[in-house]
Amino acid sequence: MHNPERPGFVISRLAYLFRSRIEQVLAENKSELSVEESALLMVLVEAGQPLRRGEFADIMLRDKTTITRQLDGLVRKGLVQRKPDPRDGRAMLITPTAKGTRQIKKLLPPFKQLRERLKEGLTEQEWQAGMKAMRQMMDNLIDRQE
């Protein structure tokens, strides 16, 4: 039964299916990363600059405690390192290690294939409209939390 008026169901199913496919990519590539760790490392490598824990929390929509726990795991695996922020001695900057960068670069092609699979059957205009709509929905909910 299909009911387009239940966005929560559609969003939840899409997120579940996408996460399952990411887990499959990680397993097929014998990656030691969890889905969350791969997302954090991807954000960090794509940023091209060190990030603070709070920046990760904002990008990932997670609390700082969760981000800290996930970063601790990446540090233990030798994939990221923390360095004091020269602008603020109390803050730490997170940077990928060479090993972390290699792990993400190895995963980029299959992640790109997954994104392309997600786009199948959609024109570029439909894809862009869908992305714009999803960003707006996120913004609508974020505005309500504050």
The C-alpha atoms of residue 99 and residue 77 are separated, in whole angstroms, by 9
What is the structure's pLDDT at 15?
92
Query: What is the mean pLDDT of the segment spanning 75-86?
Result: 93
Q: What is the residue whose two structure tokens read 């790109």?
A: 112
85-141 tens-digit pLDDT? 888 878 889 999 999 999 999 999 999 999 999 999 999 999 999 999 998 988 888
Q: What is the residue whose two structure tokens read 């969890």?
A: 34
pLDDT higher than threshold 70 for residue 1: no
The closest alpha carbon to 52, from 3, 104, 2, 93, belongs to: 93
Kind and range of the H or E run holding 122: none
Q: Do residues 77 and 63 touch, judged by C-beta distance below 8 A?
A: no
What is the structure's pLDDT at 133?
93
What is the structure's pLDDT at 40?
92
Measured at the CA of 94, the angle between CA 19 and CA 52, to 5 degrees, comes to 90
16-62 tens-digit pLDDT? 999 999 999 999 999 989 999 999 999 998 888 999 988 888 888 88
Q: What is the residue whose two structure tokens read 């309500």?
A: 144
Domain segments of the chain as ranges: 19-116
pLDDT higher than threshold 80 for residue 7: yes
Widest Cα–Cα separation across the chain: 57
What is the structure's pLDDT at 74?
95
DSSP state of 13: H
What is the structure's pLDDT at 143?
67
What is the structure's pLDDT at 87?
86
Kindly write down the DSSP assignment for every residue of 53-108, as one continuous string. Answer: HHHHHHHHT--HHHHHHHHHHHHHTTSEEEEEETTEEEEEEEEE-HHHHHHHHHHH
The third-level CATH classification (topology) of the domain covering 19-116 is Arc Repressor Mutant, subunit A (1.10.10)
